[in-house]
Amino acid sequence: MAKKIIGITCDVKGKFFEIEKFYFQRILDAGGIPFALPMITDKNHLKRIVNILDGIIISGSRDIDPSFYQQKKTNKINSLDIQRTLSELAYLKEILKLNKKKILGICGGMQLINVFFGGSLIQDILDDNPSCSDHLKLSSHKININNKTLLSSIFKLKSARVNTFHHQAVGKLGKNLIVSAIASDGVVEAIETPNKKMLAVQWHPELTVNKQNASIFKWLTK
């Protein structure tokens, strides 16, 4: 059986496309073939690339410019290169035309997916609600997983502990998305689509090696 080809989105750093090595290792461990995607917006090039993919990872990143979800930027925003945002939105548009392709969003990738579907973001969790946990300073926290979701079928658990490296979160949920996990303070920790072809998580499964996180990448590559 042919191994699944998984594209991974990158940061744009001047003349370089950059991505942390951990994504590649987790895909290899799960039996897939990973490669870094060029961060482009040309439709013809995108179609050719997407056609050879079996799945895509919208990887972790800094903050999306709030103009993409009709808000004004606060001083807490650590802006992402706009070329990356435009490219990731373009990749999502193309890959969603092909119903059999799988999509995994990680941290900032989950936030971008929510925005793509018309949702909004909380620009800073503690500014929005000071009673919430500081998701930047915690090393890990508990999530509660909703029944009958793709995530529950992957983890086979009702709750789990996950790492945390973010100060933003899902605000208004995007159209046709389902919340599949929530932290104890109410922060959305995972979303997915009803057809179970797309999963997006707020934590970084590539950074913590355990059975549950490995199962996310096995889902993507099977």
Residues 6+ apart with CB under 8 A from 25: 206
Q: What gap in Å lies between CA 177 and CA 198, rounded to an integer?
A: 10
**What would the pLDDT profile of 140-166 be if each residue is shown by its tens digit?**
999 999 999 999 999 999 999 999 999
Q: What is the mean pLDDT of each run of 10 residues along the chain (222 residues)?
A: 93 94 98 98 97 97 92 85 96 94 97 98 92 89 97 97 95 98 97 97 97 98 96
Q: What gap in Å lies between CA 160 and CA 22, rounded to an integer?
A: 21
**Structure-block tokens of residue 117:** 């579907």
Residues 6+ apart with CB under 8 A from 185: 129, 131, 132, 133
Residue 164 C-alpha from the chain's centroid: 13
How confident is the model at residue 167, as a pLDDT?
93
Choose among 120, 80, 100: nearest CA to 222. Answer: 100
Q: What gap in Å lies between CA 173 and CA 188, rounded to an integer?
A: 9
206 φ/ψ angles, rounded to the nearest 5 degrees: -75, -15
How confident is the model at residue 170, as a pLDDT?
98
Q: What gap in Å lies between CA 35 and CA 50, rounded to an integer?
A: 12
How confident is the model at residue 78, as a pLDDT?
81
Helix (H, G, I), strand (E, B) or coil at 138: coil
How confident is the model at residue 24, as a pLDDT?
98
Domain 5-221: CATH superfamily is Class I glutamine amidotransferase (GATase) domain (3.40.50.880)
